[in-house]
Amino acid sequence: MKISFLLHNAYGIGGTIRSTFNVAGALAAHHTVEIVSLIRTIDAPNLPLHPAVRLRPLIDLRPHEDGAGGNDLGHPLLSRPSAHIPDAEAKGTTNFNALTDERVAGHLDRTDADVVIATRPGLVIYLAALGRTGRFLRIGQEHRLYGTHRAEIRAACDAAIPHLDAYTSVSEADAATHRAQLPGLTTRLTALPNGVPATGIEPSDGRAKLVVAAGRLIPVKRYDLLVAAWETVAAKHPDWRLRIYGRGPQLPALRRQIDELGLAGHITLMGAHSPIETEWAKGAIAAVTSREESFGMTIVEAMHCGVPVVATDCPHGPGEIITDGRDGLLVPPGDADGIAKGLLTLIEDGELRRTMGEAARISARRYAPERVAASYERLIEELHTARGAEGPAGRRGTPLRGRAAGTPLAATLKGAVKQLVRKPLRPIASCRVTAEGNLSVLVEPAQVHGGELELTVTRRKSDEPPLRVPLLPPAGIAPAAPWTATLDRATLDLAEGRWDLHVVRRSDGVRRRVGCRFAEGRGLLDLEPLPGSPVAWWIPYATVDGYLALRAWRRPVHAEARVIRMDAEGLAVEGTLYGARFGPDAAPTAVATPSRGPARPFLTGATAVDGGRFRFTVPYERIRRARTDDEGAATWTLTLHKSAESETPIPIGRIVGDIVDRDKTDLFPVTHGVRPHLTRTGDLTIISPITDN
């Protein structure tokens, strides 16, 4: 059977795209599957797609720097309105226009698919209006909720649904709403959830004192309630932290709320992160506080990672996914106190977190793409039966096994000869922190070929030769077993900077940079630097263009600022000294050295606590007096000296943990005209603006 999915833009990032890619990949195990993207905006998809799924666009909107042809930018029909799609969905011809009308009509007229599945309202409308040939089954999908569309779009969808064979919602509750709103239809109205795969990353062990939330920073997600609830949590458990991942228009308001509540040291706005599964696995608890959810992919993702979810029991999704009290907790919507109570229940009961996390992983298997694909197969079989047509088995488009009938023997032999040609290296790997603190690089076997492979680690902007690490072939016979390399932190000396990883084939010198599947940082959360000097710390991460890299720090001595707090009288810092120890009668000092603007250096006394720990407070008045004039902002870099006489400055900052770029995440408000700031290298500075803002 041939199954064709219609997506608006398969080259973007979003839940509908992700779910479609997941289910299409699972269906491709038994069927011919394609994804037809209405538009194409970049060269390759942002999300991974199963290689057996064919992806093809109808309209090419990629810009070409050289002005070459081969795309549809500037096509006159792009500026003309669609004859089928209402303005609220077309959005001024940005999403749908006369050219999309033309290309979709041509595609549906020519397709040889047995089933066409449309994934958003505009595509559902197209499928109903332009796909009435009767040659294929027509299935529409609803990825939102019946009542959340604008009236114009809702009316157009309601008019289109009777012309389809089936229309699916992602929750049973929303399917029931559709049946109630559209009585008497012969169209099958049913629920089929999104497919959410388990990733194989190391799951949470429930021990980190960390709660994680993730999603678009938009009003419906009600992160303001989560922040308000955290004021209660932080008062009872100040050692717990909350991370919120995502971007969106609510970011400035959330930042103001966090600062006004004095929670800058307790809540971190992490920005967008993909894939998000590595971040779920770091948490002991996940929080979902939405006013409404059509499904709740983030809930299932967290559960796959062994993290119990505290979710608002809003209509539709969460209540169908979470069994309250067994694999997560449901709390009243719109109730900050209820959210805090749910979080505190799990924070204060480690055994409950552990058992719920285990139950969550089991429950999440219901949403495996293979199971959702099987549900689609059953639906399609039933629709064929209802039509009186033959079932999927044996229909055109069914892939043949082995050598296709009629294939010339020469062509078969030619294919066999190609297998003898050495294939190029296209290494993709995940990186995981071991119990000893080493980095285990797991290279997927599909794109590495030949023997005598090794891993090299090369520092950027350096002429030093790369460091070489053995890359060992799979120990067993399992076809998916990875090649492995271990970066031992006790023996491998990495200079401070950023390092790129390559796989090298020694026999011919071929060298390829390693793509990143997952950079798993869960093992860094409770890890400490090795004793002694130098102080070294490594964090694996994915670059913006998708490669695996390491951020390394290497310093003779380092003062880790565990707490940075704006108190009533000044900037308070508490931390741990690594690479050296305070003497029994130590009288350390913190030194503020001007690094920019009109400023003088100054000192403040520090206190050594229990040998390796320290604390000090920099009074706001001292910072004000260290300014030399009132023009511009002054910046000081803070260092620690083991005594007033010591001339060796010890950097103060944050490098320990799992966060690569602290300048983007660890942000603090302006208080009394002063703001602490962490640089790109993790060093602590003080900025003194003119006024609070």
Whether the bond into 162 is cis, omega within 30 of 0: no
Alpha helices in 196-295 (DSSP H): 223-236, 251-260, 277-280
In a domain, 78, yes or no: yes
Question: In this predicted structure, what is the pLDDT of residue 411?
Answer: 43
Question: In this predicted structure, what is the pLDDT of residue 690?
Answer: 58
- Would you say residue 392 has pLDDT above 60? no
One domain, residues 42 and 180: yes
pTM of the complete model: 0.88
CATH number for the domain harbouring residue 542: 2.60.40.10
Question: In this predicted structure, what is the pLDDT of residue 691?
Answer: 56
Which whole number is the average pLDDT over 125-141?
Answer: 94
Question: In this predicted structure, what is the pLDDT of residue 408?
Answer: 44
**pLDDT one-digit tens code per residue, 167-185:** 999 999 999 999 999 999 9
The domain in which residue 283 lies consists of 210-363
One domain, residues 218 and 312: yes
Question: In this predicted structure, what is the pLDDT of residue 583?
Answer: 83
Q: CB-hemisphere CA count at 13 Å for 176?
A: 6
In a domain, 336, yes or no: yes
One domain, residues 480 and 535: yes
In a domain, 158, yes or no: yes
In a domain, 519, yes or no: yes
One domain, residues 107 and 237: no
Rounded percentage of the chain residues whose pLDDT exceeds 90: 79
The answer to whether the beta carbons of residues 286 and 307 sit under 8 Å apart is: yes
Domain count, the chain: 4
The answer to whether the beta carbons of residues 467 and 491 sit under 8 Å apart is: no
- Would you say residue 92 has pLDDT above 90? no
In a domain, 585, yes or no: yes
Which of the residue ranges 70-79, 114-123, 345-354 would you say has the lowest mean pLDDT? 70-79
One domain, residues 8 and 129: yes
One domain, residues 182 and 261: no
Please, which pLDDT band fits residue 104 given cuts at 50, 70 and 90?
Answer: very high
One domain, residues 20 and 158: yes
In a domain, 651, yes or no: yes
Specify burial of residue 64 (Cβ count, 10 A radius: 0-12, 13-18, 19+).
Answer: exposed
Please, which pLDDT band fits residue 480 given cuts at 50, 70 and 90?
Answer: confident
- Would you say residue 400 has pLDDT above 60? no
In a domain, 94, yes or no: yes
Which range scores top for mean pLDDT: 389-403, 421-435, 594-608? 594-608
Which of the residue ranges 226-240, 274-288, 517-531, 616-630 would you say has the lowest mean pLDDT? 616-630
Which whole number is the average pLDDT over 484-506?
Answer: 96
**C-alpha to C-alpha distance for 175 and 179, rounded to whole angstroms:** 6
Which whole number is the average pLDDT over 657-676?
Answer: 95
Question: In this predicted structure, what is the pLDDT of residue 70?
Answer: 63
Question: In this predicted structure, what is the pLDDT of residue 645?
Answer: 74
Task: List Cα–Cα distances, 158 to 89, 183, 234, in angstroms.
Answer: 14, 11, 48
Rounded percentage of the chain residues whose pLDDT exceeds 70: 93
**C-alpha to C-alpha distance for 432 and 202, rounded to whole angstroms:** 8
Please, which pLDDT band fits residue 407 given cuts at 50, 70 and 90?
Answer: very low
Which whole number is the average pLDDT over 396-407?
Answer: 36
Please, which pLDDT band fits residue 315 given cuts at 50, 70 and 90?
Answer: confident
Which whole number is the average pLDDT over 179-198?
Answer: 95
**pLDDT one-digit tens code per residue, 546-601:** 999 999 999 999 999 999 999 999 999 999 999 999 988 888 999 999 998 888 99
One domain, residues 515 and 610: no
Domain edge (last residue) among 503, 534, 555: 555
**C-alpha to C-alpha distance for 57 and 9, rounded to whole angstroms:** 8
Please, which pLDDT band fits residue 689 given cuts at 50, 70 and 90?
Answer: confident
Question: In this predicted structure, what is the pLDDT of residue 401?
Answer: 31
Question: In this predicted structure, what is the pLDDT of residue 412?
Answer: 39
Alpha helices in 398-555 (DSSP H): 409-418
Domain edge (last residue) among 491, 522, 555: 555
The sheet carrying 515-520 orders its strands as 483-487, 439-443, 428-433, 515-520
Tell me which residue of 87, 13, 24, 118 sits closest to 370, measured CA to CA.
Answer: 24
Please, which pLDDT band fits residue 423 given cuts at 50, 70 and 90?
Answer: low
Question: In this predicted structure, what is the pLDDT of residue 63?
Answer: 85
Task: List Cα–Cα distances, 633 to 259, 603, 629, 662, 691, in angstroms.
Answer: 21, 19, 10, 21, 10
Enter the tokens of residue 388: 């009186």
- Would you say residue 397 has pLDDT above 80? no
- Would you say residue 415 has pLDDT above 60? no
Domain edge (last residue) among 144, 159, 191: 191
Task: List Cα–Cα distances, 576 to 2, 399, 610, 651, 656, in angstroms.
Answer: 61, 62, 10, 12, 10
One domain, residues 573 and 520: no
Tell me which residue of 173, 41, 71, 53 sits closest to 117, measured CA to CA.
Answer: 53
One domain, residues 167 and 26: yes
Question: In this predicted structure, what is the pLDDT of residue 396?
Answer: 39
Which whole number is the average pLDDT over 6-14?
Answer: 92
**C-alpha to C-alpha distance for 118 and 52, rounded to whole angstroms:** 20
The amino acid occupying position 186 is T
Whats the size of the chain, residue-wise? 693
- Would you say residue 430 has pLDDT above 50? yes
Question: In this predicted structure, what is the pLDDT of residue 399?
Answer: 38
Q: Kind of pairing, strands 453-459 and 328-331?
A: unpaired
Please, which pLDDT band fits residue 653 given cuts at 50, 70 and 90?
Answer: very high
In a domain, 573, yes or no: yes
Measured in degrees and rounded to the nearest 5, phi and psi for residue 104 equal: -70, -40
- Would you say residue 379 has pLDDT above 90? yes
One domain, residues 544 and 613: no
Q: CB-hemisphere CA count at 13 Å for 120?
A: 19
Angle at 534 between CA 530 and CA 538, to 5 degrees: 60
DSSP 325: T
One domain, residues 11 and 83: yes
Please, which pLDDT band fits residue 610 given cuts at 50, 70 and 90?
Answer: confident
The answer to whether the beta carbons of residues 246 and 217 sit under 8 Å apart is: yes
